[in-house]
Chain A
């Protein structure tokens, strides 16, 4: 396991060093961006609408019992933007995009396409990894912005319609604004950026490791998704603690 963590760090380092070449590969980056947006934007919005809604539904009545119903806005607002949107969207993207990356690169490895690139002196890291990691780390934060907004709306709708909570739309967002500012949103976006890099690097690395036909590709895809999610959830805790230093 530590061995592959090391390999992933090396891969990340090489992708980072290739970053100045991004402009040259811009067309591939745009293609990837388009694919990510196309595959996930609607899904991300629907998903976070319901996450926001259920959050309000679960916490609202408890707050209301203690006469704290007016705090529902900050409750949903902060959980959505600092935690749920970045983590849930990363998991969604690991499933949709990470899997596709591992499958595509994996099949290229199995069918010698990567060997062919190497014989043409085309660096597979520049050609395959750079555009994917760049695109996913641009796209995921944008997706998270959409997710935060729709999550808030979902929470607000439930708060105003559910008789046990009974907080108006306007009151919800007033309370939310008193706590959630620019910094909180940036905090969530920073997290999602790190998660995006993890998904990209883990999936590409897993793709390159693929051996032995269709079954190997299937195995790589599963590993890419599972490993990404595990890493994201573990790192989330440490990242949260790290970001707290900047807030106080």
Chain B
């Protein structure tokens, strides 16, 4: 396998549509993400964020529309050989029959990119980056939800991809760990210039790391822009979504 040139790739999405059993999930998405950008996608549960990521990485085929990554359509036959992509699944999607270390090193082992000793070294380093030193020999079933998520992130970091997709990377993490992961996302971005698309509900992280933010609603992009632009957006739907809070619950229920 030839290793592609490092650095991020530009992503273009044109008219992306997809429905499942008559239910329109993606209803015409148009956006582009510049090379090296951190692009955060927010939106209510069920608005189609995970489905969007699955289309971007080629796990699902759209009904209509086109996705171009690095200027090439992802339908070209040897696309996956030419372009390094990685995805952190919402559920982690670790291989349950492999240990943590084998999971994290899987890409390098299977494509025989490094000798075993070197892989072990890399794996140890990546696990340390996500705060999981010494967990190499445990199995996914023995880990907590948040630990699994971090192993999944380490597994994706090892690939050193040109485009990295994160599906809710911080949804199961405590606030401190969420910050660590947010930093790792930015670090990887700075170090190898990877393009990152992050799906998240975590408003703090979104506004902390994003170059641009898109808010999805019912399969469409409701608004898109820099964090400042999105924060200043007048759309009541967006404003409600971004300002939802627990503050008034106690008072209301006391009435």
Listed in ascending order, the chain A residues whose CB lies under 8 Å from chain B are 24, 104, 107-108, 111-113, 115-122, 127
Contacts and interface: CB of A to CB of B under 8 A. Distances in A.
B96 A122 contact: no
A98 to B, nearest CB: 18
B93 A112 contact: yes
B86 interface: yes
Contacts, number: 45
Contacts of A108: 95-96
A111 B110 contact: no
A111 B111 CA distance: 23
Contacts of B154: none
Interface in B88-126: 89, 91, 93-97, 106-107, 110-112
A122 B89 contact: no
Contacts of A120: 86, 106-107, 110, 159
Contacts of B81: 121
Interface of B: 54, 57-59, 80-81, 85-87, 89, 91, 93-97, 106-107, 110-112, 159
Contacts of B97: 104
Given A119-B86, A120-B107, 17 more contacts: A24-B112, A108-B95, A111-B96, A112-B91, A113-B96, A115-B54, A115-B89, A115-B93, A116-B94, A116-B95, A117-B95, A119-B59, A119-B87, A120-B110, A121-B111, A122-B106, A122-B107
Contact of B93 (A24, A111, A121): A111
9 contacts: A108-B95, A113-B93, A113-B94, A115-B59, A116-B89, A116-B93, A120-B110, A121-B81, A122-B106
Nearest to B54: A115
A119 B96 contact: no
A113 B95 contact: yes
A165 B59 CA distance: 65
Nearest to B86: A119
B59 A118 contact: yes
6 smallest beta-carbon distances between A and B, as pairs: A116-B93, A112-B93, A121-B80, A119-B87, A120-B107, A122-B110
Contacts of A121: 80-81, 111
A109 to B, nearest CB: 11
Contacts of B110: 120, 122, 127
A234 to B, nearest CB: 33
